[in-house]
Amino acid sequence: MPPMLKFAPLLLALASLSTLAAETDLTAEARQASQRLIMTLGGELKASMASSGPAKSLAVCKEQAPKISAELSQKTGLKIHRVSNRNRNPEAVPDAWEAEAIASLEKRLAAGEKPETLEVSTVVSAPAGKTFRYAKALVTQPMCLICHGTPEFIPESVKAGIASEYPLDKAVGYGPGMIRGIISVSKAL
């Protein structure tokens, strides 16, 4: 037996540990970037709601959220965006992995897992190569119901703004604590 073949299992184990460490580091990076997006967008939304009211605050999610995501993506080298099965923005449709992540996170929430722990990460292989994928659940907070709640909670001025800006909107009908979508993070490896 050639000498290198004797060490093949050890080399495979070391490579596997190295990959696991890299995935753990990327998960921590993705978690931090997601939290930064949530805090930045939430802060801008709260400030806009206080100064301009809910109808005019639709612009924060429409205009500022993509800018914040793009800036974070540029700073971190990660691709960061928000998607939902019931999207408001027509460009926020989940791909197959994201749709599966949303379904998995919804099951975990239904099983009683705490909302703040709802995340998933993995490395996926495709013909183009390996990609790190991460999803953090966006859980509906009380403030979200003004624009994403059931019809009786959404003010008429907000309904009019949604109808005008998002004629194909599907992002309503949520209750507190429901998963409204995810922050999706990816990085080609």
Going by C-alpha positions, the residue among 36, 186, 47 that lies closest to residue 124 is: 186
User: What proportions of the chain, in percent to the nearest 5, are helix, strand and coil?
Assistant: 60, 20, 25
- pLDDT of 130 over the 50 cut: yes
Domain ranges, ordered by start, for the chain: 3-188
Dihedral of alpha carbons 86, 96, 188, 19, sign: positive
| Start-end of H helices in 119-187 | 145-148, 156-165
Both structure tokens of 53: 């009211």
What percent of the chain is predicted at pLDDT more than 70? 88
- pLDDT of 34 over the 90 cut: yes
- Residue 127 confidence (pLDDT): 85
How far apart (Å, rounded) are the C-alpha atoms in residues 183 and 31? 10
Region 150-157: mean pLDDT is 93
- Residue 14 confidence (pLDDT): 44
For tokens 């979200």, the residue is 144
pTM of the model: 0.85
